[in-house]
């Protein structure tokens, strides 16, 4: 059971939420001696760094960008005297990949997992009506015992270096907002929502968890602020007459308000926008509100210049405008849960989200994009450390589902990206994570995982766990690229015919496909990396998609160019973006816009 509430911080009549974004003191612990040297009481130096942001791209020194180890943050915060008697927390949106939090020299909490929130209960450690010193140690080293997976080596000169088993840069630090919050002693801790549509009406089934035993009441308001339903008790059902459903690009949001009362006295209040909608997989169809939907969109990254993986509200706005312009209706949060504000935006804009836990790199390879179709086997799930990894993986799934379950935009859970599935040892591991996701989600949304090219119909041991078969495929790029693209199409169709022969009666979704393309490169006739080749590749790939009725979606890799580890096969990052890293269109954007604008939401329905 989670120790801390995952509800997004909000100021209400009973709660206070003060953002601590801004400039924090910063120190790289190059010798790894911060604990021994007393950094918990305050860090040395005068350097300042923005929060939220990744720390790597602010500096001009390569040894900072590539730093592996502990980095320390510090700031003072004032706690008002009127908060005395309340529960006071520091709430971190994320600290990548593990953190220890100190207040006034006292260790408050530790957390592992770099893409989900955690709280530090500082009630007993702060001085009221006074400044308090907050120090956070963040460690970004990779290992096979935590997700995302990788390794950390030591170079001959003694410096550590991260070696990810994944193809994106290991940005880290305090990458999401930090809040100082004050809650009453008895407060709303969590709630679960499920929906049932009955003709023009809808039923909202709910369960509320609080930290006490006083009466719980719920009110539901429409977008005009009119109360449309109410209920009392920690579990029950509200009937919503003439319900406005949440639909793709037509996102009607109700406001749910939960209150804890002591007679007429208010103890706590929490409110959140919600959308009434149902999601299910039936045969080969993905159904939203009982109607088939064809997914059009992207694999994305939280990645932009200067702030790296740090949440950037301006970039978020631009990304959604571009997705609307191009005709997309969905994206996958590759390869980790995103900042909560992005889900709130998707709720408002009516985008469908496949929410992915940070289980990437579960295939032992420093160049997995090259070995994905090689047939390589690494016995990944036979390691002595696998039970430790499984524990961390399950904890991350619990945190992700607890945080994101009430967002209408979230229509599926992706529980792994490109794991090794050709060994029987993967089967019991998969069973545990898939069973856990089903148990935790009262809406029983479909579960999936993105399959590496080595995971074929006759080699993959784990595809039966998926409710949606999600394929990452690069025929025409990593397999038979360039002039061999006609052979790529033959191989692609051969694989799809083999899947068809299994008659799985499940929807198939392409969660990755694409070709690296330089936005400045034109060549006639085409060559790989030119914009002309990217278009040829897409036309061939889409022809294959359109040939199989059970393919119910396409999410191209990637929305925009993004940073990776440096190497001879990466030109300052991955260039498969439909848009450049500064969010300008490549030629392929116009091809996709013509295609996606022409496909109805119920295409192949």
- Give every CB contact of residue 229 below 8 A, 6+ residues apart in sequence: 204, 219, 220, 238, 239, 240
In the three-class reduction of DSSP (H, G, I as helix; E, B as strand; rest coil), residue 391 is classed as helix
Start-to-end CA distance of the chain, whole Å, equals 40
**Cross-strand bridge partners of residue 153:** 161
> SS3 sequence, 549-572?
CCEEEEEEECCECECCCCECCECC
* Among 221, 316, 320, 234, residue whose Cα is nearest residue 272: 221
Cα–Cα dist 190/461, whole Å: 36
Q: 478 forms bridges with which residues in the sheet? A: none
Helices (H), 34-103: 62-65
Which is catalytic among the residues 512, 535, 536, 554? 512
Query: E-assigned strands of 93-167?
Result: 98-103, 106-112, 118-121, 130-139, 150-154, 160-164
- Tokens 């191009």 belong to residue: 326
Cα separations in angstroms, 505 against 282, 325, 444, 454, 466: 9, 33, 19, 22, 12
User: CA 244 from chain center: how many Å?
Assistant: 28
Catalytic status, residue 418: yes
Active-site residue identified among 418, 535, 536, 554? 418
Q: How far apart are CA 174 and CA 185, in angstroms?
A: 28
Enumerate residues 6+ apart whose C-beta is below 8 A from 583.
Answer: 315, 318, 319, 322, 560
Question: Measured in whole angstroms, how far is the alpha carbon of residue 22 from the centre of its chain?
Answer: 24
Assess contact for 465 and 435: CB atoms under 8 A.
Answer: no
Indicate if 341 belongs to the active site: no
Question: Do the Cβ atoms of 409 and 446 come closer than 8 Å?
Answer: no
Closest to 480 in 3D by CA, of 533, 421, 524, 523: 533
The phi and psi torsions of 348 (rounded to 5 degrees) equal -75, -35
DSSP 208: E
* Measured distance CA(594)–CA(596) in Å, rounded: 6
Cα–Cα distance between 179 and 22 in angstroms, integer? 11
Could you tell me which residues are beta bridge partners of residue 227? 221
Look-up of token digits 């090219």? 453
Catalogue the active-site residues.
418, 512
């Amino acid at each position: 059971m989670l120790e801390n509430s995952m509800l997004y911080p909000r100021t209400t009549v009973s709660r206070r939420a003060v953002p601590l974004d801004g400039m924090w003191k910063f120190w790289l612990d190059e010798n790894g001696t911060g604990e021994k040297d007393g950094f918990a009481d305050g860090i040395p130096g005068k350097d300042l760094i923005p929060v939220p942001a990744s720390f790597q791209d602010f500096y001009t020194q390569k040894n900072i960008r590539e730093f592996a180890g502990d980095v320390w943050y510090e700031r003072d915060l004032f706690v008002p005297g009127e908060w005395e008697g309340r529960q006071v927390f520091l709430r971190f949106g994320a600290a990548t990949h593990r953190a220890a939090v100190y207040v006034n020299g006292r260790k408050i909490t530790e957390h592992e997992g770099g893409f989900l929130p955690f709280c530090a209960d500082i009630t007993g450690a702060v001085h009221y009506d006074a400044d308090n010193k907050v120090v956070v140690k963040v460690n970004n080293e990779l290992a096979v015992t935590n997700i995302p997976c990788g390794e950390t080596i030591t170079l001959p000169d003694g410096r550590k270096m991260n070696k990810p088993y994944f193809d994106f840069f290991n940005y880290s630090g305090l990458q999401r907002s930090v809040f100082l919050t004050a809650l009453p002693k008895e407060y709303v801790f969590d709630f679960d929502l499920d929906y049932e549509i009955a003709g023009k009406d809808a039923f909202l089934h709910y369960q509320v968890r609080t930290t006490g035993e006083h009466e719980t009441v719920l009110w539901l308001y429409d977008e005009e602020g009119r109360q449309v339903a109410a209920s009392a008790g920690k579990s029950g059902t509200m009937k919503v007459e003439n319900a406005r459903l949440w639909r793709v690009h037509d996102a009607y949001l109700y406001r749910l308000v939960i209150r804890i009362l002591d007679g007429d006295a208010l103890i706590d209040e929490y409110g959140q926008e919600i959308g009434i909608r149902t999601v299910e997989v039936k045969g080969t169809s993905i159904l939203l509100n009982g109607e088939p939907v064809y997914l059009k969109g992207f694999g994305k990254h939280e990645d932009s210049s200067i702030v790296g993986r740090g949440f950037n509200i301006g970039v978020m706005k631009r990304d959604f405008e571009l997705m609307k312009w191009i005709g997309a209706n969905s994206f996958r949060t590759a390869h980790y849960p995103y900042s909560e504000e992005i889900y709130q935006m998707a709720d408002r804009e009516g985008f469908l989200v496949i929410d992915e836990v940070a289980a990437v790199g579960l295939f032992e390879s420093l160049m997995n994009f090259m070995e994905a179709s090689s047939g390589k086997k690494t016995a990944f799930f036979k390691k002595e450390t696998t039970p430790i990894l499984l524990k961390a993986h399950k904890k991350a799934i619990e945190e992700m589902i607890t945080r994101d379950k009430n967002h209408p935009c979230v229509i599926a859970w992706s529980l792994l990206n490109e794991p090794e599935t050709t060994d029987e040892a993967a089967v019991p591991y998969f069973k545990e994570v898939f069973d856990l996701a089903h148990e935790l989600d009262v809406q029983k949304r479909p579960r999936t995982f993105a399959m590496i090219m080595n995971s074929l119909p006759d080699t993959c041991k784990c595809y039966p766990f998926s409710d949606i078969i999600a394929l990452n495929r690069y025929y025409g790029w990593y397999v038979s690229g360039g002039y061999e693209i006609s052979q790529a199409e033959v191989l692609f169709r051969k694989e799809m015919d083999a899947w068809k022969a299994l008659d799985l009666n499940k929807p198939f979704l392409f969660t990755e496909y694409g070709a690296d393309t330089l936005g400045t490169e034109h060549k006639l006739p085409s060559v790989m990396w030119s914009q002309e080749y990217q278009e040829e590749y897409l036309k061939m790939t889409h022809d294959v998609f359109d040939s199989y009725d059970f393919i119910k979606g396409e999410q191209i890799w990637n929305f925009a160019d993004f940073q990776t580890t440096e190497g001879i096969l990466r030109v300052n990052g991955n260039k498969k973006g439909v848009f450049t890293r500064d969010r300008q269109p490549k030629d392929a954007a116009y091809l996709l816009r013509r295609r996606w604008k022409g496909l109805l939401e119920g295409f192949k329905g």
